[in-house]
Amino acid sequence: AQSVTQLGSHVSVSEGALVLLRCNYSSSVPPYLFWYVQYPNQGLQLLLKYTSAATLVKGINGFEAEFKKSETSFHLTKPSAHMSDAAEYFCAVTDTGTASKLTFGTGTRLQVTL
Amino acid sequence: EAGVAQSPRYKIIEKRQSVAFWCNPISGHATLYWYQQILGQGPKLLIQFQNNGVVDDSQLPKDRFSAERLKGVDSTLKIQPAKLEDSAVYLCASSLGPSGSYEQYFGPGTRLTVT
């Protein structure tokens, strides 16, 4: 069974500062890993995904994440925060089987201040 | 390309009443998912369809929840009777196939409030 732990339910950064959202996973088999963003009253949108190719994954809106097997981590980063990045971010994991379901973390709400 | 459509967007009902949600996936997507997202939590999978067959419904409370995907396209999720703890956002998603490598596209969700 897979699980995901997101450290920090709320993160606040200043506009222009580094964004770091933490995600650790637990999986007995090689996983696929995802980051989704959710804006108020909207569904989830995929930011990026790791599917066993390059360990450094680049996504939309300037976000990237690095898969570190030794640390079982998949932290999300962005060099410079923008006000429009304020949203809820979810890390998710699935296994590499042919019929796999996503298991989500509890989410991290990112606040961006002036 | 049209996204995943859901209706209604909001619903308020009293406990013990019934309610139904509708989802229209992206055209050509064989796999359809229903998730429950309780406030402050991540989405939890309720049921997964592959075409019109059920792949996984292990977390669906079958005594009160039911779902169908007739003809392998649109899907309906029903709750009967509703309980207070069913208050949540119900998200529908679709993907080309069931493998984890396929991206899931999410609809805007239906926010259910049970009073």
User: Cβ(B77)–Cβ(B23) under 8 Å?
Assistant: yes
Question: Residue A67 burial by CB count (10 A; 0-12/13-18/19+): exposed, middle or buried?
Answer: buried
In chain B, residues with a C-beta closer than 8 Å to the C-beta of A100 are 98-100
User: Which residue of B lies nearest to A95 if distances are taken between CA atoms?
Assistant: B100
Tokens describing residue B70: 């007739």
CA angle, A86 then B22 then B24, to 5°: 75
% of chain B at pLDDT higher than 70: 99
A2-25 pLDDT per residue, tens? 889 999 999 999 999 999 999 999
Averaged pLDDT for residues B41-61:
93
**B53 interfacial to chain A (CB closer than 8 Å):** no
Beta carbons of A13 and A110 less than 8 angstroms apart: yes
Query: Angle A59-A88-A40 (CA atoms, 0-180°, nearest 5)?
Result: 110
Phi, psi (rounded to 5 degrees) for B86? -85, -5
Q: Is B103 helix (H, G, I), strand (E, B) or coil?
A: coil
Low-confidence ranges of chain A (pLDDT < 70): 96-99
Q: Contacts of residue B33 in chain A, CB cutoff 8 Å?
A: 101
Whether chain B has a CB inside 8 Å of the CB on A97: the answer is yes
**B108 to chain A, closest Cα gap in Å:** 4
How far apart (Å, rounded) are the C-alpha atoms in residues A44 and B102? 15
Beta strands in A53-107 (DSSP E): 56-58, 64-68, 73-78, 87-95, 103-104
- The average pLDDT across B33-40 equals 94
Say whether pLDDT at B52 is over 90.
Answer: no
Predicted pLDDT at A20: 98
What local confidence, expressed as pLDDT, does residue B73 receive?
A: 92
Predicted pLDDT of residue A27: 79
By the 10 Å C-beta count (0-12 exposed, 13-18 middle, 19+ buried), B87 is classed as middle
